[in-house]
Chain A
Amino acid sequence: MLTPVTDEDGAPFWEYAARGELRVQACAAPDCGELRFPPRPCCPHCHSFDSEWRLMSGRGRIWSYVLPHPPLLPDYAAQPGYNAVLVELADAPRIRLAGNVVTTPDAPLNSLDAGRLRIGAPVKVAFTEVDGVTVPRWLLERG
C-alpha cells in the first residue's frame, strides 16, 4: 500500500480510523456545523477555526468506481482485479470517500468479483490494518 502521508488537518481521520471509527471534520461554530472534506484549517461557510470530528454511521452508496489495470505500482500490481470506489456517505452525500470494496474486512483488495459493483449500491464501512496503518474498507450491504 502507498501509506498515507498525513498532515495536521488530516491526521485525526487516520487516528479515529485506528480506533475503528469513521469520522468527518465538521465546523464547531454553534450556528454552522457544516461537514467538510478533505479536512482543512477553517470553515469555508462561516470561517470559524473551531472544528470537531463527527462520527458517521458508516453507511453509504457507491458513487462511481474504476478497475485499474497494469501498469501499476508494485503493491497494487500484485492484486490484479482490484477496484477503487468513491462512496458517498449516507449521512452527507456530498462527502465522498475513496476506498475499496472487499468481501470481508481483512480480505485482499481483489477479493470481490468486479461484476458485483454497481453505482448506487449500498455499502458499509469496515476497518483493516495494512502495513501498520488502519484503513477503511467497504462491504456490500447485500453481501
Chain B
Amino acid sequence: MLKDATAIVGIGQTAFAKHLPESEKALACRAILAALDDAGIDPSEVDGFASYTMEETDEVEVAKAIGAGDVTFFSKVGYGGGGSCATVGHLAAAVATGQASVGVAWRSRKRGSGPRPWKNTAAQLPTPGQWTRPFGLLRPADEIGMLARRYMHEYGATRDHLFNVALACRNRANQNPSAIMYERPLTREMYMTSRWISEPLCLFDNCLETDGALACVIVSAERARDCRQKPVYVHSAAQGLPAQHHGMVNYWNDDPLSGPAWTAARHLWKQADFGPEDVDVAQIYDAFTPLVPLSLEGYGFCGRGEGAAFTEGGALEIGGRLPLNTGGGGLSEAYVHGFNLINEGVKQLRGSSTAQVPDAATCLVTAGEGVPTSAILLRA
C-alpha cells in the first residue's frame, strides 16, 4: 500500500531567473544537494533517482557529481511537464517496496535563456506533427488555445475567468521573494490590453520561460520521523493517459475537453482517505491559464463545464474556496516544468509558504494537463 508509506523530507531549489550562468547539470546538482541538506541526509545515501523527459542531465551524471553510492532504482517518466508528479509517485513506490531507501527527484531547465523547444523544427516534425504542424499549429499556446476557445464557446467561459487564474498566481508571486514576478503586480487592464500570443490566449495566459532547478527527497515514513524537517506524506499518486489520447492535441478523443486530469483523478481519489472537498490548498499545473479550469473539473472540485465559474469571487485566492499555486505557479513564480508546484506543496504542509494557508494539512499537486499526466496528494 502506497498510502502515507513514504514522505518528502527535503526540498531544494536554485534561484529562478531569465538567465542563470551555470549549466543545467550544475543547477541540477545545486538543487539536489540543497534538498539533501534540507533533509539532513548525506548524498552518499541516495540510491534512487527519478526524472522526466526533456531533462538534459541524466541520473548517471547527477549520481557521480553529488557522490551518490550504489543506485538501485532510476526511472524517467515521459511527456515532459506531465511527468513532474510521477517522479514522486515512482520514488514513493520504489521506497515503499524496498527498491530504494533514499530517492531524489529533480528538474533543471534553461528555458529562459535557452532555445524554446517549439523552435526546433526537426524535433517537432516526427510523425504526430504531420496532422498539425503544416497548418501552422506550431506552439503549445496554439494547441491549447484551440481547446480554450472551444471551452469558452461550450461553457460561456470568458477572458475574465482566465484573468482570475492569472491574477491569483500573480498575487501569490507578489508575496514570494523567489518568484520572477515578485513586486510586479498584475491588473485587469494590463491583462486585457496585453498582446495576443494565440487568440484567445494573451501574454498573461502563458507561463514564464525560466532558468532554474528544483529537487526533493523521498524516504520511508519510518525514516522520515528522524529527519530534520517535518515529514510531508505522499498520500496518493497517479498517472493518467486517457483512451484515444494524442499528446498536446487531444483533438481526436471522443471528448477533447475531458483530458488526462480526469483519468489521473479517478485513480488518485480511489486510493485516498479524503476527497476534493477536503483539499486545503492546490498546486495545479499552469503552463496556460485554461489548464486550471479544465483541471478543476477533472480533479472533481466542480462539475463538468463549471471550472471557469469556480474561479469567480476570489475562490483561488488566499482565504478563498481553493487557494491556488501559492508560490505563484508557472505563470508567475517560475516555469520549471511544474516542479516548483511540488516543492510549494511541501512548503504549505510544513507551514513555511510565503503565502501560507492557515493550518493547511492536505494539498493536491498536478502535472501538465494536455499530455499524459500525473498527480499526487500530499498530507501533513
Contacts and interface: CB of A to CB of B under 8 A. Distances in A.
Interface of A: 1-7, 9-10, 14, 37-38, 44, 63-69, 72-73, 76, 82, 84, 86, 94-100, 109, 114, 119, 130, 133, 135
Given A64-B149, A66-B198, A95-B252, 10 more contacts: A3-B134, A9-B127, A10-B127, A10-B131, A38-B252, A64-B147, A66-B142, A66-B145, A99-B135, A119-B149
Contact of B136 (A38, A63, A68, A119): A68
Interface stretch (B85-93, B118-126, B340-348): B118-126
A76 B121 CA distance: 13
A109 B131 contact: no
7 contacts: A2-B125, A10-B130, A64-B153, A69-B199, A86-B146, A96-B256, A98-B137
B177 interface: no
A2 B252 contact: no
A69 B134 contact: no
Nearest to A14: B130
A95 B246 CA distance: 13
Given A2-B134, A98-B135, A84 B127 contact: no
A67 B148 CA distance: 12
Contacts of A10: 127, 130-131
B228 interface: no
A84 B199 contact: no
A98 B132 contact: yes
Contacts of A66: 137, 142, 145-146, 149, 198-201
A98 to B, nearest CB: 5
Contact of A98 (B131, B139, B153, B201): B131
B149 A65 contact: yes
Nearest to B150: A64
A130 B129 CA distance: 17
A44 B195 CA distance: 42
A69 B196 contact: yes
A5 B136 contact: no
Interface residues of B, number: 40
Interface of B: 119, 121, 124-139, 141-142, 145-147, 149-150, 153, 195-201, 244, 246, 249, 251-252, 254, 256
B127 to A, nearest CB: 4
Nearest to B197: A69
Contacts of B199: 66-67, 69, 114
A82 B199 CA distance: 11
Contacts of B136: 68, 72, 76, 82, 84, 100, 109
Contacts of A65: 146, 149
A38 B256 CA distance: 14
- Among B130, B142, B195, the most chain A Cβ lie within 10 Å of the Cβ of B130
Given A10-B130, A76-B136, A100-B136, A2 B121 contact: yes
Nearest to B243: A44
A126 B200 CA distance: 26
A63 B130 contact: no
A98 B248 CA distance: 13
B251 A98 contact: yes
Contacts of A73: 119, 121, 138
B131 to A, nearest CB: 5
Interface centre among A9, A66, A73, by most B CB within 10 Å?
Answer: A66
A76 B124 CA distance: 15
Contacts of B145: 66, 68
B356 to A, nearest CB: 38
From A9, A67, A82, residue with most partner B Cβ within 10 Å: A67
Contacts of A133: 134
Given A64-B150, A66-B198, A95-B252, A38 B131 contact: yes
B72 to A, nearest CB: 37
A19 B142 CA distance: 30
Top-3 shortest CB links A-B: A4-B130, A67-B199, A64-B150
